[in-house]
């Protein structure tokens, strides 16, 4: 605050300015300490689980031995990266990751938005709540159970899907061993599992739209369809864009436990993603350094993607994460 009572403006020294700023900062913390206390657990979580492990990333450039430790292992430069990129199956895994993520984005991203818009149009309160609960449920089931359900549903002998195909006079298909079926099943399972839960954030955004906009639209004679297109969607567009940027940042993180549970050597061709490749080649055989190199590569790709998406979004819609 500028002191307005003193008539001749004092020439402040740098020293005084500094003390002033310090006092103000201290004052601020004294006043708002509860808020910082609430922030603390998150900061600790970030430091312990995200920043501290970054120290270990250096093993991507080392011939790492657990016994010698991170410090004691010799540097070997980019050898692990050369190994990775000389490996056809790693390249294939990168390609599969991007393809699966692209499908996830293409079909999986709009799903919760559409679902939220549909929920918003339901007027019957009990029906709405029941329907919401039902679509949220799969999110809380563990991947192992989900995989069990999927394997049973797509079983060639007792599965629901093949039973229906049988009624239609078609031959049964052993879906989970056919490379061309893996991605549709995987992406579909993901949508079934997460679309409901993902719609919550969009429902919250819709709830925040100013009701007077709808009232005036009604006065102007707009129908529900027009209100959705002209009011709801433009109003929640910032939320959609933020969610999209976050989603793009996770492009390399295909939910690999579900892939591991559902894939087979017969479907590696379309199913093997970077994380499952790392699991098989790196962790199962104890090559942590190679696994770290692949993980670092993943992180760099994700970083570039999220930066690009953020910049594009800021330029074209003035909505961005930072």
Partner 1 sequence: MKRLSLIAGALATTMMASPVLADGHLRISEEPIELTIQMNHARYPIYEEDWPVEQVARELTGIHLINDTVGANMRTDENTGRTEALNLMLASGNIPDIVGSSRIRDFVNQYGPEGAFVPLNDLIAEHAPNIAAYYATRPDIEAAVKASDGQMYYIPYLPDGKYGRAYWIRTDWLDKLGLDMPETVEEYEAVLRAFKTQDPNGNGLADEVPFFARQWPEVVRLVTLWDGRAHGSDTYHDFMIEDGKIGHGYVGEGYREGIKNLARWYDEGLIDAEIFTRGSSARDFLLSENLGGSTHDWFASTSGYNRLSADIDGFEFKAFLPPASPSGRRIEEHRRILVKPDGWAIGFENEHVVETIKYFDFWFTEEGRRLANFGVEGMHYDMIDGKAIFKQEFLDAGPVNRSLYQVGAQLQGRGYFQDYNYEIQWSNEFALEGIALYDTMPDLLIPDFLGVAFNADEQKVYDRTWGTIRDYMLERQQSWILGNGDVEADWDGYIAQIKSMGWDELIGVMQSAYDRQYGG
Distance (Å, whole) CA 166 – CA 161: 9
C-alpha radius of gyration, the chain, whole number: 27
Total number of residues that touch partner 1 (CB under 8 A): 30
171 binds partner 1 per the rule CB under 8 A: no
Measuring CA to CA, which residue among 129, 107, 102, 298 is closest to residue 194? 107
Residue 262, token pair as written in the block: 């559902």
Measuring CA to CA, which residue among 280, 254, 298 is closest to residue 100? 254
Among 58, 83, 99, 235, binds partner 1 (CB under 8 A): 83
Write down the least CB distance from residue 167 to partner 1, Å: 17
250 binds partner 1 per the rule CB under 8 A: no
290 binds partner 1 per the rule CB under 8 A: yes
58 binds partner 1 per the rule CB under 8 A: no
Write down the least CB distance from residue 79 to partner 1, Å: 9
**In the block, residue with structure tokens 């818009």:** 117
**Which of the ranges 46-54, 95-103, 177-185, 209-217 carries the binding residues for partner 1, by CB under 8 A?**
177-185
143 binds partner 1 per the rule CB under 8 A: no
How crowded is residue 57: how many other Cβ atoms within 10 Å of its Cβ? Answer: 14
> Would you say 17 or 144 has its CB closer to partner 1?
144
SS3 category, 62: strand
Measuring CA to CA, which residue among 264, 255, 249, 261 is closest to residue 298? 249
Measuring CA to CA, which residue among 247, 249, 255 is closest to residue 273? 255
The contact mask relative to partner 1 for 193-232 (x = CB under 8 A, - = no) is ----------------------------------------
Give me the helices (H) in the chain, please.
14-46, 69-72, 79-85, 88-103, 110-121, 125-136, 143-153, 160-167, 179-207, 211-219, 224-227, 233-249, 256-262, 268-271, 274-277, 288-317
285 binds partner 1 per the rule CB under 8 A: yes
**Which of the ranges 11-19, 32-40, 87-95, 214-222 carries the binding residues for partner 1, by CB under 8 A?**
87-95
**In the block, residue with structure tokens 């087979």:** 264
Q: Give the helix/strand (H/E) hosting 11.
A: none
The contact mask relative to partner 1 for 99-138 (x = CB under 8 A, - = no) is ----------------------------------------
Distance (Å, whole) CA 56 – CA 58: 5
**Which of the ranges 25-33, 169-177, 218-226, 230-238 carries the binding residues for partner 1, by CB under 8 A?**
169-177
Write down the least CB distance from residue 208 to partner 1, Å: 44
Among 44, 47, 66, 300, binds partner 1 (CB under 8 A): 66
65 binds partner 1 per the rule CB under 8 A: yes
Write down the least CB distance from residue 273 to partner 1, Å: 13
Phi, psi dihedral angles at 43 (to 5 degrees):
-60, -45
Contact residues toward partner 1 (CB under 8 A) are 65-69, 83, 87-89, 151, 155-157, 174, 176-179, 264-266, 268-269, 272, 280-281, 285-287, 290
């Amino acid at each position: 605050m500028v002191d307005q009572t003193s008539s001749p403006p004092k020439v402040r020294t740098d020293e005084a300015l500094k003390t002033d700023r310090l006092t103000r900062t201290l004052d601020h913390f004294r006043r708002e300490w509860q808020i910082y206390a609430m922030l603390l657990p998150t900061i600790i979580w970030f430091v312990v689980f995200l920043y501290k492990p970054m120290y270990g990333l250096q093993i991507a450039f080392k011939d790492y031995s657990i016994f010698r430790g991170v410090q004691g292992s010799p540097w070997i430069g980019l050898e692990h990266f050369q190994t990775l990129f000389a490996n056809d199956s790693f390249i294939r895994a990168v390609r599969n990751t991007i393809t699966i993520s692209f499908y996830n984005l293409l079909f999986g991203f709009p799903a919760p938005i559409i679902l939220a818009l549909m929920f918003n149009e339901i007027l019957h309160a009990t029906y709405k709540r029941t329907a919401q609960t039902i679509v949220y449920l799969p999110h809380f089931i563990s991947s192992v159970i989900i995989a069990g359900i999927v394997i049973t549903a797509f079983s060639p002998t007792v599965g629901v899907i093949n039973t229906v195909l049988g009624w239609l006079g078609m031959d049964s298909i052993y879906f989970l061993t056919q490379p061309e079926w893996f991605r549709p099943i995987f992406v579909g399972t993901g949508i079934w599992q997460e679309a409901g839960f993902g719609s919550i954030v969009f429902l919250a955004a819709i709830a925040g739209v100013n009701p007077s906009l709808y009232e005036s639209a009604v006065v102007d004679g707009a129908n529900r369809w027009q209100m959705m297109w002209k009011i709801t969607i433009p109003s929640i567009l910032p939320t959609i864009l933020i969610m999209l940027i976050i989603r793009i940042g996770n492009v390399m993180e295909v939910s690999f436990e579900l892939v591991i549970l559902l894939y087979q050597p017969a479907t590696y061709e379309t199913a093997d993603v970077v994380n499952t490749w790392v699991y098989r080649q790196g962790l199962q055989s104890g090559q942590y350094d190679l696994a770290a190199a692949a993980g670092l590569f993943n992180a760099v790709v994700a970083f570039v993607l999220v930066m690009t998406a953020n910049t594009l979004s800021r330029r074209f819609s003035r909505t961005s994460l930072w």
